[in-house]
Chains A and B, each alone.
Chain A
Amino acid sequence: MRANDGVDLAVEWGQVHALLGENGAGKSTLMNVVYGLVSPDSGEIDFDGNPVKIGGPQDAIRLGIGMVHQHFMLIPPLTVAENIVLGREIASAGVVNLDRSYRTVNDLSARYGLEVDPRQRVQDLSVGVQQRVEILKALYRGARLLILDEPTAVLTPQEIEGLFEIVRTLTAAGNAVIFITHKLAEVMEIADQITVMRRGQVVGVTTPAESKPADLARMMVGRPVLLRVEKQPAKPGSEVLRVDDLVVHDDRRQLAVDHVGLAVRAGEILGIAGVEGNGQNELVEAIVGLRPARSGKVLLEGKDITRRPTRDRLRRGVGLIPADRQRQGIILELPIADNLILSDYDRPPYERWLVRQFNTIRSAAERLVETFDIRIRSVDDPAGSLSGGNQQKLVVARELGTAPKVLVASQPTRGVDVGSIEFIHRRLVTERDAGLAVLLVSSELDEILSLADRVAVLYRGRIVAVLDAAEAEREHIGLLMAGAAA
C-alpha cells in the first residue's frame, strides 16, 4: 500500500513490518493516514492489491485495519468491556448487553493471553494494562492489519515478550503487523521487514538479517549513534534529596506510595525501576509537592520541604521531568519559547517589575533549542505543533537548562528517537559528573541499567529491592518488577 509525502511502504501478509524514524519523521502521521484519521493530500492506498478509499476509521475498521495509538485512545470513565466493544457494541434492540460483552472480552483475553478485568474502569488501570485493552480493541474488531505505534514503551520485559507472542501468532495466522518503535533491539527480534523514515521520507528498506542496530540508527538519524552510554563510575558527594518513610495516596484515595524511603546524593543517578502504575507518579508528585504526603518526610539538603509549595521546591533547586509531557510538561497552546522558560517565567532575567522580558526569553529559548537540537520552525510556534519526541526534548531542555540541584526525571526519553536518547543520556551523565543528583524513574529497563548507579525496584508502592547497578542483572530485576518476591 502507498501513502503520500512521497512515502512508499509495502506490507506483506503474514509479516511484521517495523517502521523506524527520528522524532517528527512522520511515522504516526503516515499511520494516521492509513487508519483514516488524517486524509492524505495525494497518493493512494492499495489493500489486498486493489486501491481503497479510507475516509475515516470506519472504513479502516471495515477493511480489517486496527491501530494501537501511543497516546491511548481510551475513555477513562468507561469500563474495559465498554471501551473494547465501543462502536461495535454487543446489543439487542439498541440496548447494550453487558453480560455478553463481558463474556466476549473474557474469551478474547483468554485466547490471546492478554489478561484484563472487563468490569474495571479504564481510569483505574495501569498503563501496561491499558495497552492490553488497546490491543484487545483492535483484535475484537477482527484486525487483519494491526498497526502498533510505539506499543512497548510502557510494558515490562515479560509483557513485551507476551506482546511479541501475540504478534507472532497473528502473523502466523496470515495477518500483517506494522510495528513502530524507537527500540532497535525489539526491531531485530520481531521484524521481518524494516522501513526507516526521516523528515517525512523513506530513507531505507531492509531486514534484520541485512543490517545491524548501528546501521539502522545511522539510517534514522543520518549520523553514527553510540547506542551504549559511556560513563565513569559515580563519585557521589553529599546527600541532596532524602525521602523518609513516605506515604502517598492516589486520586482515588488509595494507598499508592507505601512507606518509601530513599536518598539521592550529589553526583549519582538513582534509578527507580518498575512497571508504570506502581506508585512512580505519586512518589514523584509528592517529592515536587504536587501531591500531599499522608505521612513521612521529604528533605532537600537536610531541610524539611514536606509541606513547602511546589514553587518553593523548584526555587530551592528541584527539577522535574514529568512522565506525562502533555498533562504536566508543556502547554501545547503556548509558544515554544514560553514553554522553555516555564518554571522561571516570573524571575529575572525573564521578568522585571512584573513585566516579562521577551527578548531575553526568546534568546534563552533559542539557545536551548540549539543545544538540545529540538526540531522546530520558530520558537514562536505553539508547542503543540511539535512531534511527540520533540515535545519531550523541549521538557528535558528546560529542566536541565535551569541547573537544578536534584533532577527528578520520569520517563525522560519516552517516545524519543535513538539519536535524541543518546544525547539526553549523555547530558544526564555529564550533569551527574558535574554534581547533579538524579532520581531517574523509568519503565525502560535498558535505560535504568545503562544510566543508573544504583537501582531501586518499586512494586505496588513499596521499594522491594535496592541493588548496585553494576551487579544488577536484567532478568532478576524484570522478575522483581513483575512482583516476584526479592
Chain B
Amino acid sequence: MRRFRAGWLVSSLLVPLASVVAGFLVGALAIVAAGADPLQAYGALFAGAFTNRNAFAETLVSTVPYVLLGLGLALGFRAGLFNIGAEGQFYIGALTGVFVGYSIHGLPLFIEIPAALLAGMAGGFAWAAIAGFLKAWTGAHEVITSIMLNYVAFLVANYLIDGANGKPGVMVAPNVSTPRTPDVDLGAMLPIIVPGSRLHLGLLLALIAVPLVWFLIERTTVGFRLRAVGFNQGTARAAGISVAQTIVLTMGISGALAGAAGIVQVLGLSHHMTDTVAAGYGFDAIAIALLARSNPWGVLPAALLFGALHNGAGFMQLETQVSSDLISIVQASLIIFVAAPAIVRWLLRLREQPVETVQITQREVETPVG
C-alpha cells in the first residue's frame, strides 16, 4: 500500500511539477539567447498573467475560448478523428451566431444569448460535419478536408464582411468605416461578471462545458459509441454501431464546441465580428487538447496555462521588448515536458513506471469507413 501511495504521489504531483519546471528552464535558455533577462521576463510574464491590475481576469478571458476549443478537439481525438479544422469552425460559429445576435431585437437576454449561442454552435456543427460526412462516405481524409475548410471558412467570413470588388459585404455594419458586422443586440451581449474587467459570462459557460463534455464521453452511450469507433472500427461495426453516423456526429459536436468558442468571443468581447476574429486560435487549440491528453478535465488546466501565457505575453514584451513570438518557445518547451512524462522520469531516474505509450489521438488508420 505505501509503495502504491508513493508511486501515486510521484506520478500525479512530482512528475507534472518537474515537467513544468523543466519546460520553463528550457524556455529560459531561449530568452537568454534572445538577449533578455529570464528572471525579468518570467517576472513580467507572471505579473502580466496574474498580479497586475485585472491581469487574472484577463487571463481568464483568454482562457475561455481555449477551454471550448480544447474540449472540441479532445472529443474528436477520442473518436480517432484529427479535427484540424477548429479555426474554420470558430469562424463559421462566430458568423452564424453574430448574424442571429444582431438580427434579433429587444428580447430578454435569457432568450437572446441562448439563441445566438445555439446559432453559433449549429454553424460550427454543420461546418465540421462536412469533413465528417466526406470521411464517412467517401473516405476523404479529415486532415486534408479540415485544413482546406479552414481556408474556405476564413474566405467566406471575409467575403460576407469585407465584401469584394469595392462592394461592401452583406454582413457589414452600415456607416462604420471598418469592415465589421453590426453590434449584436444588447440582450445578446454576455454580461460582465467581474466589474471593471472584461471577464464575461463566457467563463461560466466554459466551466459548465467541461463536466458536460466529460459526462458525454465517459457516461453516455453516445460517448461510448465514439470511443468504441475510435479504438476499433471493425468491432464497433460488428456490434451494430454505425461508424459513418458516429463520425459525422462526433465531428459535428467537436465543431459545435469550436463554434461556441467563436460566438462566445463575439458576444463577450467585441460584440461584433471581423474577419480576423479566429486568427491564431487554431493551433493553440490542438496543443491544448494534446496537453490535456484528450481528457476534458485536463483541458481546464491546459487552457488556463495557455491563457496565462497568452495574456502575460503582452506585459513580458513591454518589459523586455523581445519579439512576441518568444511565448511560443515557452509554450513548446512546456508541452514537450508535460506531454512526455517519460523524459522527466528518465531525468529524475524514476524507474517505478516503465515508459508507457501515451496515445492521445486514437486514430484507427487501417480500416476505412463504409
User: A residues engaging B (CB < 8 A)?
Assistant: 288, 290, 309-315, 320, 322, 324, 327-334, 338, 342-343, 345-346, 351, 354-356
Stretch in B34-42, B125-133, B239-247 touching the partner: B239-247
User: Contacts A332-B232, A356-B219: A322 and B238 contacting too (C-beta < 8 A)?
Assistant: yes
Residues from chain B with a CB closer than 8 A to the CB of A342 are 228, 235, 239
Residues from chain A with a CB closer than 8 A to the CB of B219 are 355-356
Closest A residue to B362 using CB positions? A333
- A288 to B220 CA separation, bound complex (whole angstroms): 26
Instruction: Write out, one digit per residue, whether chain B residues 318-360 have a CB within 8 A of any chain A CB (1) or not (0).
Output: 0000000000000000000000000000000000000000000
Residues from chain B with a CB closer than 8 A to the CB of A332 are 231-232
Contact of B228 among A314, A329, A331 (CB under 8 A): A331
Using A345-B225, A354-B221, A356-B221 as known contacts, list a sample of 8 further A-B pairs with CB atoms less than 8 Å apart, ordered by residue number in A.
Answer: A311-B240, A311-B241, A322-B238, A330-B232, A342-B235, A343-B240, A346-B224, A355-B221
Flag if A334 contacts B225 (CB, 8 Å): no
Flag if A345 contacts B235 (CB, 8 Å): no
- A332 to B232 CA separation, bound complex (whole angstroms): 8
Q: Report the interface size class on chain B.
A: 20 to 34
User: Contacts A331-B232, A333-B231: A290 and B237 contacting too (C-beta < 8 A)?
Assistant: yes
Flag if A354 contacts B222 (CB, 8 Å): yes
Whether a CB of chain A sits under 8 angstroms from the CB of B173 is no
Closest B residue to A334 using CB positions? B231
- A322 to B235 CA separation, bound complex (whole angstroms): 9
Flag if A345 contacts B221 (CB, 8 Å): yes
Instruction: Write out, one digit per residue, whether chain B residues 208-238 have a CB within 8 A of any chain A CB (1) or not (0).
Output: 0000000000011110110110011011111
Residues of A contacting B: mostly: mixed
Contact of B235 among A313, A314, A330, A351 (CB under 8 A): A330
Flag if B220 contacts A343 (CB, 8 Å): no
- A191 to B282 CA separation, bound complex (whole angstroms): 64
- A479 to B189 CA separation, bound complex (whole angstroms): 80
Flag if A331 contacts B238 (CB, 8 Å): no
Residues from chain A with a CB closer than 8 A to the CB of B237 are 290, 310, 328
Closest B residue to A322 using CB positions? B238
- A426 to B225 CA separation, bound complex (whole angstroms): 33
- A12 to B224 CA separation, bound complex (whole angstroms): 52
- A332 to B228 CA separation, bound complex (whole angstroms): 10
- A328 to B241 CA separation, bound complex (whole angstroms): 12
Contact of A327 among B234, B240, B241, B242 (CB under 8 A): B234
Residues from chain B with a CB closer than 8 A to the CB of A328 are 234-235, 237-238
Nearest Cβ distance between residue A70 and chain B, in whole angstroms? 19
Interface residue ranges of B55-97 to A (CB < 8 Å): none
Residues from chain A with a CB closer than 8 A to the CB of B220 are 354-356
Interface residue ranges of B190-224 to A (CB < 8 Å): 219-222, 224
Closest B residue to A346 using CB positions? B221
Flag if B232 contacts A338 (CB, 8 Å): no
Residues from chain A with a CB closer than 8 A to the CB of B362 are 333
Nearest Cβ distance between residue A36 and chain B, in whole angstroms? 18
Residues from chain B with a CB closer than 8 A to the CB of A309 are 240, 242
- A324 to B241 CA separation, bound complex (whole angstroms): 18
- A17 to B175 CA separation, bound complex (whole angstroms): 91
Q: List 21 A-B contacts (CB under 8 A).
A: A288-B238, A311-B240, A311-B242, A313-B240, A320-B238, A327-B232, A328-B235, A328-B237, A328-B238, A329-B235, A329-B238, A330-B232, A333-B231, A333-B232, A333-B362, A342-B228, A342-B235, A343-B239, A346-B221, A346-B225, A354-B220
- A342 to B362 CA separation, bound complex (whole angstroms): 19
Flag if B241 contacts A334 (CB, 8 Å): no
- A322 to B219 CA separation, bound complex (whole angstroms): 28
Nearest Cβ distance between residue A364 and chain B, in whole angstroms? 15
Flag if A345 contacts B232 (CB, 8 Å): no
Residues from chain A with a CB closer than 8 A to the CB of B241 are 311
Nearest Cβ distance between residue B142 and chain A, in whole angstroms? 21
Residues from chain A with a CB closer than 8 A to the CB of B242 are 309, 311
Nearest Cβ distance between residue A178 and chain B, in whole angstroms? 29
Nearest Cβ distance between residue B231 and chain A, in whole angstroms? 5
- A311 to B236 CA separation, bound complex (whole angstroms): 10
Closest A residue to B238 using CB positions? A328
- A346 to B242 CA separation, bound complex (whole angstroms): 13
Which of the listed residues A309, A312, A342, A351 has the most CB atoms from chain B within 10 Å of its own CB? A342
